Structure 1
Amino acid sequence: MRILLVHNHYKQSAGEDTVFFAEAALLESHGHIVEKLTLTNNDVNSVTEKLEAALGVIYNSKSARIVEEKILTYKPDIIHVHNFFPLISPAVFYVAQKHHVPVVMTLHNYRLLCPSAYLHYNDRLHLENIHKTFPVQAILDKAYRNSYFQTTSVVLTTGIHKLLGTWQTKVDRYITLTQGGTEMFRNSSLRLRPEQLVVKPNFTTDLGEGAAEREDYFLFVGRLSPEKGVETMLKANAAFPFKLKIIGDGPLREAVEAHAATHPNVEYLGYQKRPRVEEELKKAKALIFPSEWPEMFGMSIIEAFSTGTPVIATNMGGAAYLVKHNQNGLLYTPQQAAELVKQVQLLNQNKELAAALGREARQEYLDKYTAEVNYQQLLDIYTDVIRKKMKPTSAITSADFEFYKN
């Protein structure tokens, strides 16, 4: 199968970049011919470049020509878009349709529904944006990069293409990362057809099972920002001084450093590369995932699962679907520090429960989040989309299916 992967990189590397490269390598390892078409925001620096990017966000003619040239020379069987914002623009979908190439898009965030991409800004959730064609109040709130102008460009782009029917007619299949994501997008202003949405989680390399006897600390790994629930976690730690290691960086770094300075049970490790994160995961009693926005997934959760480490998470977003209460981890209500304390105390007091949750977490990883499981899911999606795009159902044969597997 010839697969064209399309992605617009942000200035700072994000989880979407990790998934993009991981899926590309996975497909190549199984013999597929993979071509990558990428643009990066690092190329947008001057005033002129920023103006061109802003003006082209609704439909970038330059990017359209690049995509068309790639289609004509590479002749892909399918195009998989991970991120088109802002440089590639929705032009990719129009060019693909012009050349009758089926398109799959992974919904890594909520950009099509909310300019912030997170449904969280100015320290609170904004679920009201889900049902609005043009969330005008978000512009007044400067939801994207604290900018009226940049927020307006995002709102206009997604809204205009809602009116044009782009999201309904130019994308054959959307991949969501959990069932919760599917439900969110299905009941939104995008008005997608049910058959356009399919669930396929992310995957992670098997980090290997951690220590049977865990050390006496809990671990947080992630961006130090309000939507990640860092402040609630610190409040819980202040109320009940459990041992905590914190890995990450972000706007709340000073608050974390100040807390660690006055709470000797807390160790702030700053940003750490993957080997150190893996090491800490394998020794921790549990990972704390206190996110207070409906995250699409939660890579650190399945990484913890692969090491046999249970997770204490908020009962919302992707975490609520990945973590099964009293099976592979524990759940609590977002922003409720007292509930988080109770879950921490439970694992501190019940060593057998912690071990049982860890064993189930490891099994959950093996059953659902390995590379091989993910490959089969991705291949099934591609094959189904290609078959339905290229032939009427009555004309599909088993030979077609076997062809696209190779």
Structure 2
Amino acid sequence: MRVLVVHNRYSSAQPSGENNVVEQEVALLRSAGHRVEVFERRSDDIADRSLLAKAAIPLLVPWNPSVRAELAGRLRTQRPDVVHLHNVFPLLSPSVLAACADARVPAVATLHNYTQVCPPGTLQRDGRPCTECVGTAPLPAVRHGCYRGSRLATVPLAVSLSVNRRRWWSGVARFLCISAAQRDILVRAGMPAERLAVKHNFVPEPGIRRVGDGGQLLYLGRLAEAKGVRLLMAAWDEIARDGGAGMPLVIAGAGPLEREIAAWAAGRDDVRYVGLYNPAQCRQAIARSAAVVAPSTWLEAFGLVVVEAMAAGVPAVAAGHGAFVELIEDGVTGLLHRPGEPASLASCLRHITADAMRNRDMGQAARRRYEQSFSPVVGLERLVDEYRTAIAGRSTPKGGKE
């Protein structure tokens, strides 16, 4: 099968699960003998542009005609069987859909977040769930400055969502939702249910698994409000006041709250802030952990770090909403805390570290869950099946496909 993957890579200065997913899927397809090419832009390259070129970027977010022309040329030359779209913001734009239509090549799109119904893609505002723009014009997002706290920065995203909504819905043969929870939200928002399939992200074999009980709790990810980092800080302070958890909390990542986290951790024996890990360091850190913590306050569409922990035989403590409720079987493969409640998170962290035998059983169950649902073998089968469905012009039943 000939596949062209289209992706705007996120900045390398911050961890990006989406970049990882794209790289891993490309490698998986190639290892199975498929011919995969990549058409991409890199947000890192924005810094090298002239001031005039930087100023023009917001104007190209809704539609980039030069990208349409360039991609159309690639499609005519390479004639792929299918185009797989990922992120198109900010340098690609939905003009890639027109290029696919021009070349009559079916498009499959993985929905890594909620940008089809929410300009910033988070379904969150001021640290709380928000659905004001779902199913309607995204004026509330502009009014509240939902993208980076700026009305001006939100305008291009809101305009793109408004003018390209129908183009997305009619121009994509198969939308791949990364969780059933995400699919349910998008169906309620009016997206075409018959073309929304559930295809969980897969995780490669880590090559290292936990041995023993683990000697730390690990937060691994972007240091941002939506990821529940401040919630974790509050819960950990509560645990510390009660005598501690018997092991340190390790925080690895980068993001807007980096300075705040570093200051909070400074001088403490029970917290270590280690900055941004590379992939090998991430795998090693997970394998050293009693549990991975994922306390997101927004409705995660998937939760890659939870599945990475499963692959290493490590349970997770995560917020009991969004995709986490289908990834984690509460009390079996990990623990779910009440979203947004520090006391509930603190209680789960105490429980996950209090009983080594129970923790070990959870880790083994988590590994079995990974093998059944999130391994490369499963991921490849489902991905290729969706490509074939798009190429053949078929559709799955209304309930979607797990």
TM-score after normalising by structure 1: 0.90
Write out aligned runs for 1:213-232 (5 A). Answer: 213-232=212-231
Higher relative contact order (CA 8 A, sep 6+): 2
Q: Distance in 1 between matches of 2:67 and 2:104?
A: 18
The match for 1:77 is 81
Contact 2:84 2:108 in 1 (8 A): yes
Q: How many angstroms does 1:257 deviate by?
A: 2.6
Contact 2:213 2:359 in 1 (8 A): no
Contact 2:210 2:314 in 1 (8 A): no
Q: How many angstroms does 1:169 deviate by?
A: 1.1
Q: How many angstroms does 1:275 deviate by?
A: 2.3
Contact 2:94 2:168 in 1 (8 A): no
The match for 2:110 is 106
Q: Which moved more, 1:206-215 or 1:298-307?
A: 206-215
Mind listing any 5+ residue stretches in structure 1 that lack a counterpart? 394-406
In structure 2, relative to structure 1, the CA distance for the partners of 1:254 and 1:43 (3 Å cut) is closer
Q: What secondary structure, in the 3-state scheme, does the structure 2 residue paired with 1:175 have?
A: strand
In structure 2, relative to structure 1, the CA distance for the partners of 1:218 and 1:137 (3 Å cut) is same
Q: Which moved more, 1:53-62 or 1:173-182?
A: 53-62
Asked if 1:7 is matched to 2:10, the reply is: no
Asked if 1:58 is matched to 2:57, the reply is: no
Q: What secondary structure, in the 3-state scheme, does the structure 2 residue paired with 1:105 have?
A: strand
The match for 1:396 is none
Asked if 1:91 is matched to 2:92, the reply is: no
Contact 1:78 1:101 in 2 (8 A): yes
Q: Distance in 2 between matches of 1:256 and 1:48?
A: 36
Q: Distance in 1 between matches of 2:18 and 2:317?
A: 24
Q: Distance in 1 between matches of 2:391 and 2:18?
A: 24
Q: CA RMSD in A?
A: 1.9
Write out aligned runs for 1:130-149 (5 A). Answer: 130-132=134-136, 134-149=137-152
Q: Distance in 2 between matches of 1:250 and 1:192?
A: 32
Q: Which moved more, 1:304-313 or 1:89-98?
A: 89-98
Q: How many angstroms does 1:212 deviate by?
A: 3.8
Contact 1:175 1:198 in 2 (8 A): yes
Q: What secondary structure, in the 3-state scheme, does the structure 1 residue paired with 2:322 have?
A: coil
* Residue in structure 2 matching 1:306, options 294, 311, 326: 311
Q: How many angstroms does 1:176 deviate by?
A: 0.7
Contact 1:167 1:192 in 2 (8 A): no
In structure 2, relative to structure 1, the CA distance for the partners of 1:255 and 1:55 (3 Å cut) is closer
Write out aligned runs for 1:15-30 (5 A). Answer: 15-30=17-32
Q: Which moved more, 1:9-18 or 1:351-360?
A: 9-18
Q: Distance in 2 between matches of 1:19 and 1:215?
A: 27
The match for 1:400 is none
Give the AA of the match of 1:224.
Answer: L
Q: Distance in 2 between matches of 1:150 and 1:256?
A: 26
Q: Distance in 2 between matches of 1:100 and 1:170?
A: 10
In structure 2, relative to structure 1, the CA distance for the partners of 1:56 and 1:267 (3 Å cut) is closer
Q: What secondary structure, in the 3-state scheme, does the structure 1 residue paired with 2:330 have?
A: coil
In structure 2, relative to structure 1, the CA distance for the partners of 1:102 and 1:148 (3 Å cut) is same
Q: How many angstroms does 1:146 deviate by?
A: 3.1
Q: What secondary structure, in the 3-state scheme, does the structure 2 residue paired with 1:80 have?
A: strand
Asked if 1:67 is matched to 2:66, the reply is: no
Aligned residue pairs total 386
Asked if 1:187 is matched to 2:188, the reply is: yes
Give the AA of the match of 1:7.
Answer: H
Give the AA of the match of 2:378.
Answer: V
Give the AA of the match of 1:236.
Answer: A
Q: What secondary structure, in the 3-state scheme, does the structure 2 residue paired with 1:38 have?
A: strand
The match for 1:398 is none
The match for 2:43 is 41
- Percentage of pairs with the same residue: 30
Q: Distance in 1 between matches of 2:232 and 2:60?
A: 41
Q: Which moved more, 1:121-130 or 1:98-107?
A: 121-130
- Give per-residue Cα distances to partners, 1:126-181, cap 9 Å, x unaligned: 2222232x22121122222333232111111111122xx21221111100111001
Q: How many angstroms does 1:354 deviate by?
A: 0.7
The match for 1:207 is 206
Write out aligned runs for 1:277-316 (5 A). Answer: 277-316=282-321
Contact 2:9 2:42 in 1 (8 A): yes
In structure 2, relative to structure 1, the CA distance for the partners of 1:381 and 1:342 (3 Å cut) is same
* Residue in structure 1 matching 2:331, options 323, 326, 338: 326
Contact 2:307 2:370 in 1 (8 A): yes
Contact 1:208 1:306 in 2 (8 A): no
Q: Which moved more, 1:300-309 or 1:116-125?
A: 116-125
Give the AA of the match of 2:10.
Answer: Y
Asked if 1:335 is matched to 2:340, the reply is: yes
In structure 2, relative to structure 1, the CA distance for the partners of 1:307 and 1:74 (3 Å cut) is same
